[in-house]
Structure 1
Amino acid sequence: MEFEQLRYFQCVAEVETFSLAAIKLGVSQPSISRQIQNLENKLGVRLFYRHGRGVALTEAGRKLYASAIPLMSQLSSVVETLCEESTEPTGVVSIGMPSSIIGTMGSAVVHRFLVDYPKATLKLYEGPSGLLLEKLEGALLDIAILYESRRGSNMLVSPLLEEDLFLITPPTVLQGEGPDVSIGEVEKVPLILPSPLSGLRRSVDRVMQANGLGLNLVLEMHSVTTIKNLVEKAVGFAVFPFGIVHREIADGRLGARKIALPDMSAILVTATAVGQPVTKTMNAVQEIINVELHRCVLAKQLRGRVLVP
């Protein structure tokens, strides 16, 4: 038996589908299937059987899991310890960011990581806070940047940024930045917002409900890019942090007015799963995120209060 075969076997046994195991391990599904088949041929027994929702361990598979996985865990701990003793971060780290942040600083984070840590690998995923939280809880992400309203009870979180929220207007109404707008005015305009799966949307709903106000919601879209395009075409207005639209504002394609309400903001946090070992590479990514966050706020690409040193 090879270490790689046992690693694939362990992952499939724990997530109970070949497709999810492939995503978690960052390899193709045929590659996992081939390794499992080779392992079964080597042992002369079937390790999994298929059912409607995925796969489950056979009796032989359960015996192998009970015997081999503790040894795998010990070996992984030794490898991890040796990697941590290395003078340079190595290994793979997966991070998820919402659209509000990834468009502003995602590429800068990746570029800095590639330059500073050539022996390590960074995987970057984009999605709404709800989806990123699911991936984090499913061990498909090492770090997630989330809006605080979407954090889970089994997450360790560190505040990053309290983002101001802006009313985003069509260019026919305003080009560039304009004066602050009252919450009462926001209540009246037709709004195009992300779905409640978005942590940003949940933050907006929370503030409006706390002030006894409603939303004149005309469209719900799962795509930030589509919402911006619709606002540019004067279909409606949006409520976003400034970072999402800073390029369009600079080009005069959209307008932005800060919403004049003290609690009209959304708090971004970094989240990791409780009990997850924090590697040197994860710490390196976190440091890059903090540096880029300060840079973007100083450049006024992000608007709000930085909550990290």
Structure 2
Amino acid sequence: MDFKQLKALMTVAETGSVTRAAELLELVQPAVTRQIRMLEAELGVTLFERSSRGMRLTEAGEIMVDRSRRIFDDLKYAQMAVQPHPHNLTGTVTLGLLESTADLLAAPVAAAVRRDHPGIDLRLTTAYSGHLQQWLDNGTLDLSVLHSTGTTPTLHSHPLVRDNLWVVAPPGAGLRPDTPVPFADAVRHPLVLPTPGHALRVLVDRAAAQADVTVNTFVATDSLRMQRQLVRAGLGWGILPGVALADDLAQRTLSAAPLCDPDIWRSIALVTRRATPTPQSVRAVARAVTRQAKAAARDGAWPLRTEPSPQPPQPRHQHQLERDRPASPVRL
């Protein structure tokens, strides 16, 4: 067994075709076929089911592909970890972003990495928080911006920003960023919300329980883009993080105001894996993400409402609500 065989295995698995894999590996097709058959003979198992529709992994093949990826990831990390010149970093770094933060962070982070570390191959992906966390755990991602769940045995969390949820409506509603809206008033309107189990929905449902009110959900969708579209169309109001509204507020295609009574805060963090030493290239991208997030909050591009100063105990409906880690997996 050697690296050429493992690389052939991974490439055929990704493409589903020996012909396409041979093109990517710059080999002739019989050479790729020979590598796969030699590996199968050595392992004593069949790695692919072969048919006229292509190559599909067997259960044994899926295990081998997963382990092979880990081997190549470890090699990549070893190479990046020993690079002696921080300003001449190379290698691939895969960064995950929440959908709500992608519009604000993706372009400036990519520009900063290209300017300061042109040798880094930066790859960006967006997903819900639960998916991003799974991809960090299995090594698909090197680092990710997540809805913070705190440091875990496998992941380390670096706080970035604490932002609050806003109520959002069509421009004619006249909501203003400087005039908070009580939660009970906001939920009297038909709402466009994420589905139950989504992290933002968890926050909304907890606030409703705290305020002892019923949420009137008109449409449920996890698509941030669709939520904004439905609100723009006048089909309901929404509850979203301020960072997801920056463009709409600037273009006045929506009106919005921070929620109060209770305030609803969420913590955004940059999360990295704990299992391996963090390579310098990953650290460089992490610094770029941190700088851009802090700058966006400082310059007002990331809409935030100032947290209230600590006050003496108040009646139940005025307590600030902050999300703890949920007992079951959530999506964001």
TM-score of the two chains, using structure 2 as the length reference? 0.73
Q: Which residue of 2 aligns with 1:273?
A: 273
CA distance in 2, matches of 1:291, 1:72: 30
Q: Which residue of 1 aligns with 2:58?
A: 55
Look up the equivalent residue of 1:18 and give its one-letter code: A
Query: Does structure 1 conserve the Cα–Cα contact (< 8 Å) formed by 2:98 and 2:128?
Result: yes
CA distance in 1, matches of 2:70, 2:190: 58
Look up the equivalent residue of 1:140 and give its one-letter code: T
C-alpha distance 175-69 of structure 1, shift in aligned 2 (>3 A):
closer
Q: Which residue of 1 aligns with 2:229?
A: 229
Q: Which residue of 2 aligns with 1:94?
A: 94
Q: Which residue of 2 aligns with 1:127?
A: 127
Look up the equivalent residue of 2:188 and give its one-letter code: K
Look up the equivalent residue of 2:141 and give its one-letter code: L
Q: Which residue of 2 aligns with 1:215?
A: 215
Q: Which residue of 1 aligns with 2:13?
A: 18
Give 1:163 shift: 0.5
Give 1:185 shift: 0.8
Q: How many residues align?
A: 290
Residues 162-208 of structure 1, C-alpha deviations (whole Å, 9 max, x = no match): 10211001112126635110111122121111234543333333333
Q: Which residue of 2 aligns with 1:112?
A: 112
CA distance in 2, matches of 1:191, 1:71: 48
C-alpha distance 297-305 of structure 1, shift in aligned 2 (>3 A):
same
CA distance in 1, matches of 2:134, 2:76: 25
CA distance in 1, matches of 2:127, 2:154: 20
Quote the sequence identity (%): 20
C-alpha distance 83-193 of structure 1, shift in aligned 2 (>3 A):
same
Look up the equivalent residue of 2:13 and give its one-letter code: F
Give 1:298 shift: 2.0
Which ranges in structure 2 are unaligned for 5 or more consecutive residues? 50-55, 307-332
C-alpha distance 255-75 of structure 1, shift in aligned 2 (>3 A):
closer
Give 1:274 shift: 3.1
Give 1:42 shift: 5.1
Q: Which residue of 1 aligns with 2:145?
A: 145
Residues 282-303 of structure 1, C-alpha deviations (whole Å, 9 max, x = no match): 1111111111112211221213
CA distance in 1, matches of 2:74, 2:183: 57
Look up the equivalent residue of 2:33 and give its one-letter code: Q
CA distance in 1, matches of 2:222, 2:91: 33
Look up the equivalent residue of 2:121 and give its one-letter code: T
Q: Which residue of 1 aligns with 2:260?
A: 260
Give 1:103 shift: 1.0
Secondary structure of 2:187's aligned partner? helix
C-alpha distance 103-7 of structure 1, shift in aligned 2 (>3 A):
same
Query: Does structure 2 conserve the Cα–Cα contact (< 8 Å) formed by 1:95 and 1:143?
Result: yes
C-alpha distance 265-133 of structure 1, shift in aligned 2 (>3 A):
same
Secondary structure of 2:226's aligned partner? helix
Q: Which residue of 1 aligns with 2:296?
A: 296
CA distance in 1, matches of 2:71, 2:128: 37
